[in-house]
Amino acid sequence: MKGFESQIGYLYKDKALLSLALTHSSYANESKKNKSHNERLEFLGDSVLSIIVSKYLFQNYPDMPEGELSKTRAALVCEKSLAGFAREIGLGSMLLLGRGEDQNGGRNRDSILADAFEALIASMYLDGGISPAEKFVLGFIKKQMKNKQFVSSFTDYKTELQEIIQQNKEEKVEYVLVEESGPAHDKFFCVEVHLNSNVIGRGEGKSKKIAEQMAAKEALELMGE
């Protein structure tokens, strides 16, 4: 653990938080002693990450319009980006995975790495507050923001759809998970995007985030966008 703490630049007061962040649900499900895993931390980390990135973009890019801010943030915190950040610090090698998940390449799976990265952010936040979490996250974000090709090449269908829908304040978009199947190491998700109570798109993917993007893409195509 000490070597990994050195790698991420943060020394934990409560080592149990770091251990929890590194524990995948597949490991907890196989363990007879410990049923705790990092999914709740992932939930918190997603929000902490969003606040940190939003604040950074708002303060450092004063001329960037709201739509571009949203698109840029989405590019920075998407599954592919977070998995890349996780690989930079060797996060996959530190994860506690179930035997099946490990044998099926879980340590290099984008969805697992991205979720664990968010859990790691949450563990820092709970252990030391927003400052260490912010320092950790911005180390990656600042580097990515220097790569203009990275930001411009990202297509965020959810943001594009939201920008169209929000022109009418009475309209409301909601993403609904309608199917989740497959073993822990090979999940499959199906999501519908609803405009008020009407289904306007349906998407599938290996993670809920991907399925939501695909549902938004279908909605845009049906709208002729």
Catalytic residue among 42, 79, 110, 118: 118
Is 170 one of the annotated active-site residues of the chain? no
* Catalytic option among 46, 79, 110, 115: 46
Structure tokens at 69: 């801010």
Region of residue 129 (left: phi > 0; alpha: psi -120 to 50; beta: else): left
Distances (CA, A) of 189 to 46, 157, 183, 214: 19, 17, 12, 11
**Among this protein's residues, is 156 annotated catalytic?**
no
79-88 and 66-77 are packed helices; what angle lies between their axes, rounded to 10 degrees? Answer: 50
Coil, strand or helix at 89: coil
Q: How many CB atoms lie within 10 A of CB 81?
A: 20
Catalytically active residues are 46, 118
